[in-house]
A and B are shown apart, each in its own frame.
Chain A
Amino acid sequence: MTHIDVVAVTHRGRQRDYNQDTVAVAGFQSGVLEGQPVRFAIDPVRPVTCLVADGLGGLAEGARASRVAAATITDAAPLFHDQDAVVRAVHQANDAVYAEMALTPAWSGMGSTVVLLVLAGDRAICANVGDSRCFLLRDAHLVQLSQDDSMTPAGEETIATVVTQALGGTPRPTAVTPHVLETEVAPGDRFLLCSDGLTDELDVERIEEELVKAADPRSAVSALLRAALDAGARDNVSIVLVTVPEPPAEPTGTAQEGNLP
C-alpha cells in the first residue's frame, strides 16, 4: 500500500447554522454543512494537494470566498511541483476572491484564510495565509509548519478574532504574502490541516495526544472532531489528516504486524 491516506471532515460546529469552511482533497471539494469523515487513498504519481479554507465575513459570503479560493487553488494543483507554483496559485486565489467580490456590492469585504499542503515526491510544501494551521506529527512531536497571521501584542494573548492577512477580506484589492515552508517527507509522517475552529477549542497538547494514541487515521479524525464538539465548537471545524505510508513491509521476518490479514 503506497497510497497517501487522507481523512477529511468539515462540520458547522454547535453554534453556527452555516459552514464557511471549505476542505479540498486532491481535487474533491467539500460542500456540506456537517459531514462525516471521508477517507481517500491517493496515488501520489502527481503532486497531492489538500487544503482547508476558512471563510470570513457575514453569512454566505464567507463560504463563497472560501469556495472560490479553494477552487482556484485546486485548479492549479496539478502543477504544484515547486514553491513558486504554489505561491502563484495563492496569489491567483486572492485575485479570484476580489474578482468575485466585484460582482455584487453586498459581497464586499468577504475573505478566506487558506492553508494548503502539497506532497510532491519526497517534498512537502506547506503554504498559508491567515490563521488556519498545518501541523506535522513526527516522532510524536506535533510541530506547526504554518505561520499564523494573527496579532499578539507584547504581554497579551493573541487576539483570536483578527487576522492580519487573508485572501480577500478588505473592500479594496490587497496583495498577500503567503508563508511557505518546504521540507522533506519521511515515511509515516502525518500532516494535520485544520481551521481555527479546532485549535481554538483544543490546545495543541491535546491534539497531539489524540493523534498519537489513535489507532488509525479515521478514528483520529473522529476523536478530534468529537473532542472539538464536546468543547463547545463555537466555530466551524474542519480537519484534514494526511498520512504518508510507511515503506512496504519487507517479506523477511522483520514485519510482524500489518502484514497479516
Chain B
Amino acid sequence: MTENAQPAPGTTRDTAPGTTRDAAPGTTRDTTAPGTTRDTAAPGTTRDTAAPAPGTTRDTAAPAPGTTRDGAVPGPTTTGERFVRVNLPPTLQQRYAVDRELGAGGEADVLLANDRETGEQRVVRLYRRQDLPLDDDKLKRLLLADRQHLIALLDYGRGDGYVWEILEFAREGSLEELLARTPAPWPAPQVLSVFDQLAPAITYANSLGMVHRDIKPGNVLIRSINPLDMVLADFGLTKFIAATHHIGTNSRTSAYAPPEAIGGGLSRSSDWWSLGMVLLELLVGRSPFQRTDGTWMDDRFITHELISREIDVSEVADEHWRLLLRGLLTRAPDKRWGPQQTAMWRNGGKPPVADPEPATATATGAGPTTRGSNATYVFGGRGYNDPVQLAAALRADWGEGRRLLAGRKLKTPQYLALKDWMTKHQRAEAVQALDNGVDERPERGLMQVIMALDPNVPPEFNGRRLDGEHLHALLRDAVGGQVAARQLLDQVYEDGILTICDEATGCTGYAMLDDRWHRSVDTAQARLQQENVPLQAEHVQSLRMQLLITAYEGQGHQYAEAARQAAQNPEALQQQWFRNLAGEQIVPQYQAAHHAVLMMAAPVAASQTMNQRAEAERRRIAAEQHAVAQSRAKVDQLSVPIGVVCGLLACMPVVGFLTALAAIYCGVRARRTQYQSASTWAIGLGGVGVVLQLCYLMQAIAGVSAQPPAG
C-alpha cells in the first residue's frame, strides 16, 4: 500500500487538538519581528509570488541572522516563555509566532502558530526536506478549493531547507478525538449528520480530481460540533510526499483502506469505502477490525480479511443503514456506491447493491475446524478448544454457565476469558451476545452464547429442548400442572428466550410467536390491573401458559368457549365492572388476551359477589341481634321503677308475697342499667318483703294451729 502514515506519524492526530491550553489567541508575543509586515495570504487568494522553483528561497530579503539554508533543526531556542524545539524558517517567522508544537515525525514538524497580523491560529507543517517535488497545479487548486468541505490550505512554499504549508486550525480536534470523548455507537441521527458532512466533502474532492486515499476518523477534523461542521484534512502536501516514499502502513490506517489498496490500486471510489468503514464504526461502536477491548487487529490479519471476506454489516440493525453500508463496502471498486447512489440513498431511495446480503448464519458457517484456534477455555474443570464442544458443555452444566454469565457485570476472570476465547475463535456473534443485555439476565445471555457457539443444534434451555415439538411437550407438561415445566416456561417468557431461538433448527417463526406472546400477556396483565384484579404468581404463570398456546398461529380461539362460559357466570355478572368487561368489543389480535382476562376475572368477580352476599347476611343477623338487645334494654329500664314499687308493696301481707318476688326479679334486671342503687333497693326491699311474708305466714300457721285447742 502506498499510504502515508509515516511521513508525519501522529500529525493527523495532533494537527488540531481540541484542547486550547493557554493558547491565548491574539496574545502579542514576539510581535517585533524583524522587518516587513507582509500581507498575509487571505483565504483563497493566490499569492503574488509564483510557486517557487526547487531551491529558490522566498523572501530572501529577510533571513534571520544565522539561519543557514539547510539548518533543518536549529538549536533549541525559546519563543516567548515556551520552549519550542523547532524554529520557523525566517520567511515564516515574519508572519507567524509559534505557539506550541503539535507533533513531530520523521519527515515533518507540526506547529501551532499565531498569525502576527490577524492573531488567527494556524497550523504550520514543516517538511525537513527541500527537494520534494510539488504538484503546483494540484496545490493551486487546493488553495482555491471550497473551504466548506476541506480543511483550508492557506499557503505553501519552499525555502530555508524546508517545504512548508500553512493550514487552517480546527478547534474541536478530529473525529477520532471526539470518538474518544463520546464513544460510539452513536444514535442514527448523529451518524446521519456525519454522513451529511462527509459525503458531500468526498464528492467535492472527487470533483476536483482528487482522491484522499486515507479517510479515517483521525483525518476528519471538526470545526464546530453544534452545528456539526466537519472537514477532510490532509489533502495537502502529505499526499505528494507519500507518493515519493513507499512506507509501510499501520493498522489504524489499513483498517479503513479498501481491498484494492492492498495491491496498490487506487480509484475514486476508494474514499467511499473508507466512508463506509467510518460510518460502520460510528453505528456499531467499533471497527470490524477492532477487538472488543478496543485494540486493533494485526495488519496482516486485516489484509487477509479484506482479501478473503465481505465486511459483515449484520450488526447494524436498521435496514436502510445496512443498505448504505453494503453499497459503500462493495468490494469491486467499479460497482461501489459513489456520489449518485449515496445522494439517492439520502433521499430515501434504494439503489441496487452489487453483492447479495449474506445470511447472518454463514459468517459462522465455516465451522470451527476450518479456523480453529488453539486457545483453551476452562469450563467446569475441563479445557475446551472447540466452540461446539463448549456449547454442549454449557448446555449440560447449565448452573455453571449461569454463574459464568452472572459474572459479566463484575467482569470476572472466567467471563473475560470466555470473551477472549470466543474472539480468538472468531465467534463474533457470541461476543456480541455477551455484550448485549446479559447484565440482569444471565440465562438469556447464556442462551445467546450457546446458540452463537453452535447454531446447528436445536436450542435447549436449562435442560429442555425448545424446538417445535419439544416446546409443545413442555407446554403440555405445564398445562398438566408440572411445577418444573411451569417455572421453566416462566423463565422462557421473562428472558425472552424464544426470540433468541428464532431461525434455529425447528424454531421458525419463534420471534413472531414470542412477540405475540409477550404482547398478549402484557395486554392481559394491564387490563387485569386496571380492574384491580389481584394476580398471584401462579395466576401469572397460568396466564402466560394459556397465552403461549393462543399465540400460536391459528390457536387464538383455543379458550373462546371457556371464556364464553366464564363470561356467563351469573355470580360474576352481578358485578358491574365484570358486566362491562364481558360486553367489550375486542379487536381480533387481542381476542386471546381478552379471553384470558375474562377467565381470570370471572372467579374474582364471582367471589366478590359471594363476599357481598355473605356481608349482607352478616349485617342482617347483626341488625336482628341489635333489635333484641334494644328491647331487652327497654325492659330493663322499666324494671327499675317497677322493682322499687314492688319492693315497697312487698311489706304488705298477701299482696307482698307476689310483689316481693317481682321486686327481686326486677331488681336483678335493673342491675344491667345504670341505676345500680335503685336495683339494690329493689332487691333489698324484695328480700325484706320475702322475710316479712314468711313471718306473716308463720304467724298465720301458728294462729290456725292455736285456734282448735282454744275452740
Q: Which A positions have Cβ atoms within 8 angstroms of B?
A: 136, 138-139, 141-148, 152-158, 179, 181, 183, 204-205, 208
Contact = CB atoms under 8 A, between A and B. Distances in A.
A154 B400 contact: no
Interface stretch (B222-230, B376-384, B559-567, B685-693): B376-384
Contact of B412 (A143, A153, A156): A143
A210 to B, nearest CB: 14
Interface in B421-453: 442
A177 to B, nearest CB: 12
Contacts of B442: 141
Contacts of B381: 152, 157-158
Interface string B357-392: 000000000000000001010100111110001000
Interface in B390-418: 399-400, 402-403, 406-407, 410-414, 417
A157 B382 CA distance: 4
Contacts of B376: 152-154
B385 A145 contact: no
Contacts, number: 66
A154 B385 contact: yes
Contacts of A204: 399-400, 403
A136 B403 contact: no
4 closest cross-chain pairs (CB), A and B: A141-B406, A147-B413, A152-B383, A152-B378
A142 B385 contact: no
Interface string B493-536: 00000000000000000000000000000000000000000000
B392 to A, nearest CB: 12
B413 A154 contact: no
Nearest to B379: A152
B406 A208 contact: no
Given A204-B399, A205-B399, A208-B403, A136 B378 contact: no
15 contacts: A136-B410, A143-B406, A144-B413, A146-B413, A147-B417, A152-B376, A152-B378, A153-B383, A157-B382, A158-B378, A158-B382, A183-B410, A204-B399, A204-B403, A205-B399
Contacts of B402: 141
Given A141-B442, A204-B403, A155 B412 contact: no
A159 B381 CA distance: 9
B406 A154 contact: no
A139 B376 CA distance: 29
A155 B403 contact: no
Contacts of B410: 136, 143, 145, 181, 183
Interface of B: 374, 376, 378, 381-385, 389, 399-400, 402-403, 406-407, 410-414, 417, 442
Contacts of B384: 154-155
Given A141-B442, A145-B412, A152 B382 contact: yes
Contacts of A208: 399, 403
Contacts of A156: 382-383
A126 to B, nearest CB: 9
Contacts of A143: 403, 406-407, 410, 412
A234 to B, nearest CB: 16
Which of B374, B410, B411 gathers most chain A CB within 10 Å?
A: B410
A204 B397 CA distance: 11
Contact of B383 (A144, A145, A154): A154
Given A144-B412, A154-B376, A158-B382, 10 more contacts: A141-B402, A144-B414, A152-B376, A152-B383, A153-B376, A154-B385, A179-B413, A181-B410, A183-B410, A204-B400
Contacts of A138: 406
A1 to B, nearest CB: 26
A155 B406 contact: no
A164 B410 CA distance: 24
A85 to B, nearest CB: 20
Nearest to A160: B381
A165 to B, nearest CB: 13
A154 B705 CA distance: 130
A155 B385 contact: yes
A179 B413 CA distance: 8
A142 B407 CA distance: 9
Contacts of B399: 204-205, 208
A67 B384 CA distance: 36
Nearest to B414: A144
A143 B413 CA distance: 10
Contacts of A142: 403
A136 B417 CA distance: 18
A157 B389 CA distance: 14
B543 to A, nearest CB: 25
Which of A142, A146, A154 gathers most chain B CB within 10 Å?
A: A154
A139 B442 CA distance: 11
Contacts of A152: 376, 378, 381-383
A143 B407 CA distance: 6
Which of A136, A141, A145 gathers most chain B CB within 10 Å?
A: A141
Nearest to A146: B413
Given A141-B442, A154-B376, A181 B406 contact: no
B252 to A, nearest CB: 30
A236 B298 CA distance: 47
B355 to A, nearest CB: 37
A142 B410 CA distance: 12
A179 B389 CA distance: 28
A204 B380 CA distance: 9
Contact of B406 (A139, A146, A179): A139
A11 B376 CA distance: 35
Contacts of B374: 154
A160 to B, nearest CB: 8
Contacts of A146: 413
B74 to A, nearest CB: 44
Nearest to A128: B413
A145 B407 CA distance: 8
Which of A136, A139, A143, A145 gathers most chain B CB within 10 Å?
A: A143
Contact of A181 (B378, B389, B400, B413): B413
Contact of B403 (A141, A148, A179, A181): A141
Nearest to B440: A139
A150 B375 CA distance: 16
Nearest to B413: A147
A179 B376 CA distance: 19
B484 to A, nearest CB: 16
Contacts of A148: 378
Nearest to A148: B378
A147 B365 CA distance: 33
Nearest to A124: B410
